[in-house]
Amino acid sequence: MSKENPLLEKYALPLFDTIKAEHIEPAIDALIKKNKNRIERLLNSTKKHSWENFFQEIEDLEEDLHRTWSPASHLHSVADNDDIRKAYSNCITKISNYSTEIGQNRSLFMAYERFSKDPSFVKLTESQQKIIHNALRDFRLSGIDLDEESQKKYKKIQKEISEYQTKFEENLLDATHAWKKQIINEDELSGIPETVKALAAQTAKNEGKDGWVFTLDFPSYMPVMKYADNARLREEIYRAYVTRSSELGSDTKWDNGEIMYKILACRAEKAKLLGFNNYAEYSLENKMAKTSDEVMSFLNNLAECSKGFAIKEFDELKKFVFESTDLDRLEAWDIPYYSEKLRKKKFSISQEELRKYFPVKQVIEGLFKITNKLYGVKIKERDRTEVWHKDVKFYDIFDNKGKIIGSFYLDLFSRNHKRGGAWMDECLLRKKTGSAIQNPVAYLTCNFTPPIGNEPTLLTHDEVITLFHEFGHGLHHMMTKIDYSGVSGINGVPWDAVELPSQFMENYCWEKKALDLFARDFKTGELISDNLFEKMKNARVFQSAMQMVRQLEFAIFDFRLHMEFSSKKDIDIQNLINDVRKTISVTDAPSFNRFQHSFSHIFAGGYAAGYYSYKWAEVLSADAFSKFEEKGIFDKNTGKEFLQTILEKGGSREPMDLFVDFRGRKPNIDALLRHSGIAA
């Protein structure tokens, strides 16, 4: 293959210093062409198909495409520009077309079908059998049983979905980064913490402006909502945030209104083409939950347990505000602000005060110590690795014999041309190559406040939780012992189980023994005192029922949207979210709120008809952690059991079977309700 294209070189790690936008499309074109030719040759071979001479080769071809596309699509997320965006958009269409062609290749399907019934099939490993079963399911979901005309229709729909989802994400990114608020008079910044003001001053300086510049990036937006005494400023930034990429936003060219309907229409059409009543039914084909009734019962049950508590919490907030101010109603932009004031009054604690205990370097070291105590691995930074930005670091994970078993890039800070939020993604997948093992490599990405001057970056406790969450995903990817890329790490894991390891890790942010490993005042070295920790634990359940119903609002909206949508005539998206809010929400959203226009989880990510997965997996993670609460949070045997039954197994077995292996029983809801301060 060409040495002139770094994406086509057989690299140990992506060559980020040399990858350019112009490399992306030719690389994908070359790989798709190579894969198609190879599959055709394999199908035309007269040899009897075995795992080694056929199915493993197909696995390898898929992994080749993944390893080439992974750095290219990652750059689109973290270092976007017009050229990368164009190349990404063109390639998304090509990859979508290729995937559909493979999924509708009758000869290939028949090869899998015949092999699954061959006597040699039962001699395969559990992982190999799972890959074959998953492939047969995916063939059906790709329209293998459709007639030729319907298959063409399916291919067109898939292409359109890919294009619309990409456009949705790009509109959101552009709308978010286009809005800025410059403030010259410091009096208008009353209440805003110094760390946040310093970030706003640095942003202004970088743009050649005086004063302070605030943006809709989360490290800038959320502190204004929580701390700014200036209600007009809170309202202005709130309006900008909740109208992003809508018809009410700063520029309607980024309006996602029509795109949402196009995405939903394509999904509904695809589901019906495949014989499902709606897209929600289609999406459950590869999840733990099996029916729409099961999902809705689960969500409604949680809502029933939570709503009464949420009403009490909101009543408490209103009483506090109406008795201490001259306000007679709470606007949406008042709720975070006065909630923070009430938290401070009740618990004498705020996120900002806790920052001093969480300098980012210490938090990372603490995270590594906790991982070592649980699983016996060591993590060390590796120098001189090619990265896409100077702030990015690279680490290796070593087992107890000093051997590297996985690695990851860590990209923690927000900046222009990087999409918002936090995520883990796969760079390289674990797989066997001859007698060797290709180790897994992950991207761990957050959007924390970037370093200002020579001061250390101090995280809020919420940001510490976010980092632990993403690292939990990373461990699921990197600690796998499965040698076949199709089911190693998070591959093949049902979407509603994939959050288990990430939410499990969050629990260590609430344990004194864990915090004592890293939470120290960055100036004095003092640990968090027992008294302060008690306040933190008490504050943990502050408005937790309000948080619960907010997440349930998103999950029910998402699931109903995909369950009930048939065409634009049938459903008005705004009316549906208003209806869900009437049933579940305890606070009133303003009429101009266009949350759905920026709900990229379901319109651009993998959570369509799957946002319930966060709560579903939270039940699993809380129940799994309760075993550590019983045995000891660093109990080596329990850590080893969790490692061997959950993290190492990847997608090689059904997640419920793995959970029962670990817990000795099926999950129940009690631990989640206890952690949330909500009585069962």
At position 267, the amino acid (one-letter code) is R
463 labelled catalytic: no
Nearest-5° angle of CA 117, CA 121, CA 124?
Answer: 160
What pairs with residue 381 in β-bridges?
395
How far is C-alpha 628 from the chain's CA centre? 25
Q: For residue 314, which of 587, 101, 71, 37 has the smallest C-alpha distance?
A: 587
Catalytic entry in 59, 269, 463, 470 = 470
Distance CA 447, CA 173 (A): 13
Distance CA 525, CA 31 (A): 53
Which 3 state secondary structure label does DSSP give 294? helix
Structure tokens at 212: 């302070």
Q: For residue 651, which of 175, 82, 133, 173 has the smallest C-alpha distance?
A: 133
Residues 6+ apart with CB under 8 A from 610: 283, 287, 495, 496, 558, 602
Structure tokens at 37: 């030719």
3-state secondary structure 442-477: EEEEEEECCCCCCCCCECCHHHHHHHHHHHHHHHHH
Structure tokens at 55: 């199915």
Q: For residue 171, which of 107, 253, 49, 51 has the smallest C-alpha distance?
A: 253
Distance CA 272, CA 265 (A): 11
Q: Are 43 and 111 in contact (CB under 8 A)?
A: yes
At position 620, the amino acid (one-letter code) is L
Structure tokens at 147: 């007639």
Phi and psi at residue 45, to the nearest 5°: -70, 145
What b/e readout covers 220-235, taking b as 16+ CB neighbours within 10 angstroms? Answer: bbbbbbbbbebeebbb
Distance CA 173, CA 53 (A): 45
Structure tokens at 271: 């589901």
What b/e readout covers 236-266, taking b as 16+ CB neighbours within 10 angstroms? Answer: bbbbbbbbbbbebbbeeebbbbebbbbbbbb
Alpha helices in 106-178 (DSSP H): 106-117, 126-141, 148-178
Active site residues: 470
